[in-house]
Structure 1
Amino acid sequence: MYVASPATNGFKLCRTMGSHALSATQQNSLSKRLPTFQQDAPQFITAIPTDPASPWTKDTFIHLFDSLVHEDDVSEPEFRNILLFCGSAEGSIELPKSLEQHIHRLGLQYHVVEVNDDSHRKRDSGDMADVAIPGGAYLWANRRLQPVFRLYEDKQSCLVHYLLRPAGERQHKQLQLTGRNVQSFYAAVPSRIPDLVKSQSSKPFAGKRVLVKDVFDIHGIRTTLCDRAYYDMSSPAPETAPAIQMLIDQGAELVGTTKLSSMISWEEPSECMDYSAPFNPRGDNYQSPAGSSSGSAAAVAAYEWLDYAIGTDSTGSCRRPAMVNGCFAIRISKGKLPSEGMAPCFPLFDTPAVFARDISDLSFFVKHWGLDSLEECRQHPSSIILPLEYIDAIRSRHQRAILDTLVDDLHECTKIDVHRISLQALWDSNPPAEAGGQSLHEFLQDVGPHAFFFDFYHSTDQFRQNYFDKHHASPPVNRMTAYRWDMGSRITAQQRHHAGRRLEIYKTWLLSRLLCGENPIVVLPIMDAEPNYRDDQVCGLPTVQEAWDQLWLSPVLGSPEVTVPIGQIPYMSKKTGAEEVLPVAVSIMGLPGTDCSLVASVETMLRQSGRPLRVASGRQMFVEDWEVV
């Protein structure tokens, strides 16, 4: 029925029906309470938490069992031959006769395990454990009950750390199980069925599988930033970053950390010197995944077994990957979530981001990640703003046509006025008093590089010093990081102060002149949709973003920005020799702090205009036989 072999860290590798599973050793007193159980024969079982005050009925059990059969990718037929109804609280459990008869007709065995006073144990925090035996699939072997996790191969090379947290434990453990591909590893995931853990079912993220960009502290795990020198100097995190701990406390299952551009910098795949870039699943599978949150976006676009991935955004770190990997995403308003335990890139702009395949799922996630507040604007969008400089810069006529059609659809279905505005003309007609007659570009000249490079360089002062003290050398880094450090070291504190002051003036002007009105939204292109192969060589000097760049608009304002896949552009792949498609996406920006209402408004507008609310995983975002809503 299974194959088990010893593994490190108390894990065993099993194989059932051709699928791989992982079991984690867990001590318990089950053998003392089940005298009829075949204790010496290894067997798979399913534990079902049962409230003595409200036990399962035949109807509720049928619903649960149907979910196990048709929805749960962890549960296999072998696991369901033996059922354990485990008490979730003290008290006697009496199953209805109709349920017992139904289980008998299915040809299944079942046992009842009641909670005794000594079956609870204290957690580190001092709280009582929720259940004596958490629900889910288990392997019974060597008189121990071992939780079972489903293994999925990370074929797109999106992950850095592969993690799981055995039931009842607070700290994640790290896995290193090689996949069928010699360069890939397995990720281990628990059941998605929240009813299997009744104490968790009231938590919004119960059963949701989440990956986290490897810039966040995870208790007991060393952060890499996808840089070997940084990893060499890092130590196990003493606690999990508060923003991520919020998700875990709400029931989310953290299954790993994701790759990124080295040192949270710009890095194309051909420039990767320490960790190989993730594989973008779209098109021919050989397009750049962009960065820096490349692993998070690529994983969401590639893996149906994954629900969400967390990234970050500074000056495009989530929006560019969301577009080229073809998924929904949101850059969270600056300051809405705690930044402690998140490695800095540009602290003035740094903020968490979320990736998902479904706009409804994204809306749900944002609402329950502590972002919903009474102060948030609840009005529908009052106007749609199109900054002409950014729209007119799109080189592809096909991409421009897709964007124009989106705007026309939104206007037609919502009757919201569309305002096409030139930022330069608006500045010329209504400049801030501090402009002193300068044009927008003159006023912002060098403001972006002076602020960004200075902060990027000095945010790693301690790391560089620690590395030098240990190795008597500078840490090896990629071309872009070295360039940014060199530029940052040349910028004075006075230049940084001057740049910061001008960014504040620009922000105030944008809020008073561009985003005037009750609740305007801004539609923005992200980048040109064009082939960018993994092995394309990067030539010339690194790109320098100026403060007037469209990717700086929401960071300057501290605003939320939702990335929305809206179409696909065909291209002839030089890798496959066949016609493939590239994703096209836009970003929709709202006022600062309106994260929940912005995502909800985007969902409503997509639904009303008959546009797709979700994307598929794999080579194409949209397939012809999908329902639109």
Structure 2
Amino acid sequence: MLLRPFLSASAFFSLASAAIRFLTTEDIGSIFVLDENQDNHYFIPAVPTKEVNLIGVASDTHDKFSVATSIRTGSSPLSRRFLDAQFDAFKELDDVWNENFLKTLFIGFEREVNAFFDDSGKEWLLEKGVRNLYITRGIEKPIFKKANDLNIREVSDVPPHGAWLIRTRTANRNLLRAYPVFGLVEDDHKAFTVGAIPDYLHGGFITTNFTLEHNPGVQYIPVPSRLSAWSSAEMPLAGLRFAVKDIFNVKGLPTAAGSVAWRRTYGKANITSSSIQRLIDLGATLVGKTRTSQFAIGAQPWEFVDFEYSWNPRGDGYLTAGASSSGSAVAIAAYSWMDFTIGSDTRGSIRKPAALVGAFGLRPSHGTLDLDGVIPVSEVMDTAGFFTRDPLIFESVGRNWYKESDVINRSPTLRLPKNLLYPTDQFPLANSDAQILIEKFKHLLRKHLNIVSKPINMTEIITPHFPSQSFEKFHEASLRLSRFRIWHDVGKKLFRDFVNKFGVDEILDIELDPMPNLEFRKGRQVTQSDFVEALTFKRKFSNAMDEEVFLPHSKTCADSIFIYDAAAGGRPSFRVEELNDFEGATQFVLNSLPKGSTEGPKVEQFFHYVASMGGLPEVTIPLGQVQYKSPVTGKWEWMPIAVQVVTRRGCDRVLYELIRKLAEKGIVKAVQAGTEAYVRDSA
């Protein structure tokens, strides 16, 4: 929504040296800038989230909006050292708050003994230009030796930590209304479908789609202050921002699944998927929904009608991000203001994008979460997983989000598995520089974690468990599992409900992307008996993985982990089809081979099916980056390299522990957002 100009007489006013300029307003809130830095845009909701009583005589100080900062503390004295440390931490932790919001300062004291400002703290208040100081009972009112303009009042309570706009209630000047400040950030990589802010009146969320006059082609996402974490320390994910793939229902937000027809037919969700609600209950903050291939059916970036695919920030900007969760992958790779993003993985839709953008990504064991309120691809393979840049956030989200799952083995992991299954039928990679990173990873696993590489031919190990020992039949069984369900649960339902809502004459308005068109057509040809037969094959394969490949172990949960490459062998693959014809490039393999392939599919090209058909957990681990010659820029650019690690079903905690120890030993590092995943000197 391009917000209409805010025509009120209070659209611009000055508060001491802080000037607030309201640019636009809507029913859901207003956008403003501060004159000190008009490059930063902010948003406040229309509804205040906190009301504070001024004790004593009423005041007209805040008849118009004022900037404010709020803190809560149990420390005394309130000294320069304490205040500097507090607000230095604010700067380090938060990208919304800055010192321009210090003109009004709320301080709440959370202990029974009294607190006081020492002389250095009093000097700090004046030096920082604080004009209004609001303190709760228990803090002694500071007395100054020299006259000043500082207005000091006692208040009943203070807002949570962070940046606020405050205003006196018209009917009661002793009542201050506080509005939380959101930063507005560009979605210039088209990762999002919509932004989201909490619906403070009705619960759930409100859709945003902000654009600004100076940059009308880019959506701006409202992001809240991270400082709320200081007020919610008991919530393990407090202060972390996340976005969710647009196949998960969130109350108040539309679910489109990459389809205009689906969004028109079903509109906004009335309830939030339990998997997403759990993250919110753990303290994480939802900021929006990310793009997906239509109905989460894997497709190439050029195969779209309704919504363009998100743009991978790595390298020259034209590398593919692959698969249906690519919007979530791009959001985490492009934006430092995102902490983790949610995707779904049926046959590689988290793992492959994570490898292509250079991020940590997890497909959990099948069945770890209830997938109510999620558009299905195949309920016997669908999982809800996530992306992040930081190994510590990876461990925290994994351990907390799936904590209540009955699928995950709860026995303590006393040590990591010692066997690293290394597939010689896939390695070495086509790019020798990428293979060097794999070899280094193997060496460090042995040196620091005593995990020893065991060369195997994975094709020979798993082929006996295919129907008639045929990979083509195994591949077809997987396709039938998804095609049958995607037609009956999505396609057939959409056409029926669209006609019921809009009439049969409007059916021609349904325009689908090429891959859903193909999958729906093929899905209509899959019979119930075909589906049952494919499901039987899958169950046999899953049992074989448990009984013959990833064996149980009393101390390590699983006796081994399996590594492989889920990307393109260290070669670049592009979002523009013709670019993949350049020397050194290759078209990325999703669920079928590229058009014009002269050879049939090879097992090593589809190792991602092992976890999908086996119900196994799998993590993507970024290792480093290599150079490639860009056909777009004509320069040598950098692209990320990652490796996959798979283990026994239910042994997800092995993967959390592996990532934790790899980070602890410095074997893996947090990746950065932007063109390059690593600072080159430390890659």
* TM norm structure 2: 0.81
Of 114, 127, 135, which residue of structure 1 is paired with 2:161? Answer: 135
Of 272, 275, 281, which residue of structure 2 is paired with 1:240? Answer: 272
The question of whether the paired residues in 2 share the 8 Å contact of 1:280 and 1:325 is answered with yes
CA-CA distance at 1:409 after TM superposition: 2.9
2:420 aligns with 384
CA-CA distance at 1:87 after TM superposition: 7.3
- Closer/same/farther in 2, CA of residues 29 and 346 from structure 1, 3 Å limit: closer
The question of whether the paired residues in 1 share the 8 Å contact of 2:546 and 2:552 is answered with no
2:566 aligns with 526
The question of whether the paired residues in 1 share the 8 Å contact of 2:611 and 2:646 is answered with yes
2:335 aligns with 303
- Which region of structure 1 is more displaced relative to structure 2, 403-412 or 304-313? 403-412
- Closer/same/farther in 2, CA of residues 39 and 517 from structure 1, 3 Å limit: closer
Per-residue CA deviation, residues 125-182 of structure 1 (Å, 9 max, x unaligned), is xxxxxx8733321123464432211111111111011111266873222222114433
Rounded Cα–Cα distance in structure 2 between residues aligned with 1:135 and 1:595? 35
2:68 is aligned with 1:45: yes
Rounded Cα–Cα distance in structure 2 between residues aligned with 1:596 and 1:202? 22
- Which region of structure 1 is more displaced relative to structure 2, 531-540 or 411-420? 531-540
2:501 is aligned with 1:444: no
2:392 aligns with 360
CA-CA distance at 1:390 after TM superposition: 3.7
State the AA in 2 paired with 1:495. D
- Closer/same/farther in 2, CA of residues 447 and 133 from structure 1, 3 Å limit: same
Rounded Cα–Cα distance in structure 2 between residues aligned with 1:408 and 1:250? 37
Q: Secondary structure at the match of 1:184?
A: strand
- Closer/same/farther in 2, CA of residues 252 and 424 from structure 1, 3 Å limit: closer
CA-CA distance at 1:513 after TM superposition: 1.5
The question of whether the paired residues in 2 share the 8 Å contact of 1:607 and 1:613 is answered with no
Q: Secondary structure at the match of 1:367?
A: helix
- Closer/same/farther in 2, CA of residues 132 and 235 from structure 1, 3 Å limit: farther
2:312 is aligned with 1:280: yes
1:26 aligns with 47
CA-CA distance at 1:606 after TM superposition: 5.3
Q: Secondary structure at the match of 1:580?
A: strand
Per-residue CA deviation, residues 505-552 of structure 1 (Å, 9 max, x unaligned), is 111112221112522111121031333333325999995388952111
CA-CA distance at 1:70 after TM superposition: 3.7
1:13 aligns with 31
Give aligned-pair identity as a percent. 24
Per-residue CA deviation, residues 297-336 of structure 1 (Å, 9 max, x unaligned), is 1111111111111111110101111111111111122111
How many residues are matched?
Answer: 599
1:124 aligns with none
1:96 aligns with 116
Gaps of 5+ in 2: 1-18, 138-156, 170-176, 582-586, 594-600
The question of whether the paired residues in 2 share the 8 Å contact of 1:209 and 1:307 is answered with yes
- Which region of structure 1 is more displaced relative to structure 2, 616-625 or 210-219? 616-625
Rounded Cα–Cα distance in structure 2 between residues aligned with 1:4 and 1:404? 56
CA-CA distance at 1:224 after TM superposition: 0.6
- Closer/same/farther in 2, CA of residues 402 and 37 from structure 1, 3 Å limit: same
The question of whether the paired residues in 1 share the 8 Å contact of 2:259 and 2:294 is answered with yes
Rounded Cα–Cα distance in structure 2 between residues aligned with 1:424 and 1:72? 49
CA-CA distance at 1:195 after TM superposition: 5.5
Of 244, 247, 252, which residue of structure 1 is paired with 2:284? Answer: 252
The question of whether the paired residues in 1 share the 8 Å contact of 2:430 and 2:571 is answered with no
State the AA in 2 paired with 1:523. I
* TM norm structure 1: 0.87
Q: For 1:316-335, what aligned pairs fall within 5 Å after superposition?
A: 316-335=348-367
State the AA in 2 paired with 1:75. W
- Closer/same/farther in 2, CA of residues 486 and 376 from structure 1, 3 Å limit: farther
2:511 aligns with 476
The question of whether the paired residues in 2 share the 8 Å contact of 1:523 and 1:588 is answered with yes
State the AA in 2 paired with 1:340. D
2:495 aligns with 464
State the AA in 1 paired with 2:672. A
Of 452, 466, 483, which residue of structure 2 is paired with 1:453? Answer: 483
Gaps of 5+ in 1: 116-130
Of 581, 584, 588, which residue of structure 1 is paired with 2:638? Answer: 581
2:218 aligns with 184
- Which region of structure 1 is more displaced relative to structure 2, 292-301 or 261-270? 261-270
- Closer/same/farther in 2, CA of residues 267 and 74 from structure 1, 3 Å limit: same
CA-CA distance at 1:105 after TM superposition: 4.9
The question of whether the paired residues in 2 share the 8 Å contact of 1:390 and 1:550 is answered with no
RMSD between superposed Cα atoms in Å = 3.0
State the AA in 1 paired with 2:29. F
2:442 is aligned with 1:407: yes
Rounded Cα–Cα distance in structure 2 between residues aligned with 1:582 and 1:502? 38
- Closer/same/farther in 2, CA of residues 97 and 417 from structure 1, 3 Å limit: closer
State the AA in 2 paired with 1:331. R
1:544 aligns with 592
Per-residue CA deviation, residues 369-390 of structure 1 (Å, 9 max, x unaligned), is 1437772451311311123334
State the AA in 2 paired with 1:43. S
1:121 aligns with none
- Closer/same/farther in 2, CA of residues 376 and 342 from structure 1, 3 Å limit: farther
Rounded Cα–Cα distance in structure 2 between residues aligned with 1:532 and 1:442? 25
Q: Secondary structure at the match of 1:202?
A: coil
Rounded Cα–Cα distance in structure 2 between residues aligned with 1:357 and 1:576? 26
Q: For 1:488-507, what aligned pairs fall within 5 Å after superposition?
A: 488-507=523-542
